[in-house]
Copies of this chain bind each other. A is one copy, B any other.
Amino acid sequence: MALGEFELIDRFFRACGAPRADVVLGVGDDGALLRPPSGADLVAVSDTLVEGVHFPAGSPAESIGHRALAVNLSDIAAMGATPRWVLLSLTLPRVEEAWLAGFARGFGALARAHGVALVGGDTTRGPMTIGVQVLGTVPAGEGLRRSGGRPGDALFVTGTPGDAAAGLGLIMAASDTATGEAVARRTAAGLRSDASADALEALRQRFLFPTPRIAEGEALRGLASACIDISDGLVGDLGKLATASACAAVLDVEALPRSAALAAVTPEAALRFMLDGGDDYELLLAVPPAQVARVASMPGLTRIGELRDASTAAPVTLRRRAADGTLSETPATGAGFDHFAG
């Protein structure tokens, strides 16, 4: 059954998002008409997912729909904003109703959970590319930036970074179990032979269905001096925050929050995933000394280091405590994920 472009949009996406009173005119015209609240700054974010680059070919459609929206909601969260409206540009090689239904289910459930209305976009034939733009608002002047950190600010992170990268490693390793290459991949994923099935599934779910930290971002307005989301890896994104803030950063390796599920991989792999694994979409933030106690009391946030003067050579330094209590520092080498590098 070959549905046309317009019927496709109608059928799967017209009722996909949340209803909102501030949508004057939604999908179906040349553009959407939206009514922002007075006294607000608009926050606009845009992120594109390409099959084989941002997710493995053959990923579940529901996960692709969820992730396409989640990575954008995470950017909204990093600005301390409240999401309102989303546009979806779907480029697909062919029409598959089951795939579209799954995609719309994943995308729609997350949109409705955050009260986000789907107000426009387009559908085109081509290699699978999913472009999403989310519009949100913050009270004027209160948007969080990467650049506000100062030496002496404490660093906090939400959740448990590393899980999503471990989950992606497991998914890639499992994608071709019959060959020697798969064994090599499993080794690269650092899988322990005694890992529990529950832990493995928890890690996979963290990659397939990441949680954007909207409520945390909103709560941090007026408290955090700088904020960024961890999409490209903790060290790489911390380097960006530190550089934008004209600071250096030091990370206490033993302080990094570690999920129980991450015990499914070797300690070496776990550390690598925590420091350099992308796809977590947790928030990383700097907090001035006067606000540290208040932020430390919030659930789900862990203090992991501090900003200091930029005079040190590396943007990010790893600080470790030996068994005898001695502190040692080494420059971190992770540089984040660059789609055109190499």
Contact = CB atoms under 8 A, between A and B. Distances in A.
Given A48-B89, A48-B91, A125-B340, A41 B35 contact: yes
A134 to B, nearest CB: 8
Contacts of A8: 340
Given A30-B75, A33-B79, A120 B44 contact: yes
Contact of A33 (B5, B42, B54): B42
B87 A133 contact: yes
A150 interface: no
A119 interface: yes
A81 interface: yes
Interface string A233-265: 000000000001000000000000000000000
A111 interface: no
Nearest to A336: B6
Interface in A181-219: none
Contact of A29 (B126, B131, B141, B146): B146
B30 A126 contact: no
Contacts of A338: 4-6
Nearest to A2: B340
A127 interface: yes
Interface string A29-60: 11111111010011111111011111000000
A95 B6 CA distance: 34
Contacts of A306: none
21 contacts: A2-B340, A2-B342, A4-B341, A8-B340, A24-B141, A28-B244, A32-B45, A34-B44, A35-B140, A36-B36, A42-B135, A44-B120, A44-B135, A46-B131, A50-B124, A50-B126, A53-B126, A89-B89, A89-B131, A126-B129, A135-B135
Interface of A: 2-6, 8, 24-25, 28-36, 38, 41-48, 50-54, 74-76, 78-79, 81, 85, 87, 89, 91, 95, 119-127, 129, 131, 133, 135-136, 138, 140-141, 143, 145-147, 227-229, 244, 338-342
Given A5-B340, A29-B146, 18 more contacts: A2-B342, A4-B340, A8-B340, A25-B145, A29-B79, A33-B41, A33-B43, A34-B44, A36-B36, A46-B89, A46-B120, A46-B133, A48-B91, A50-B91, A53-B126, A127-B129, A129-B129, A133-B133
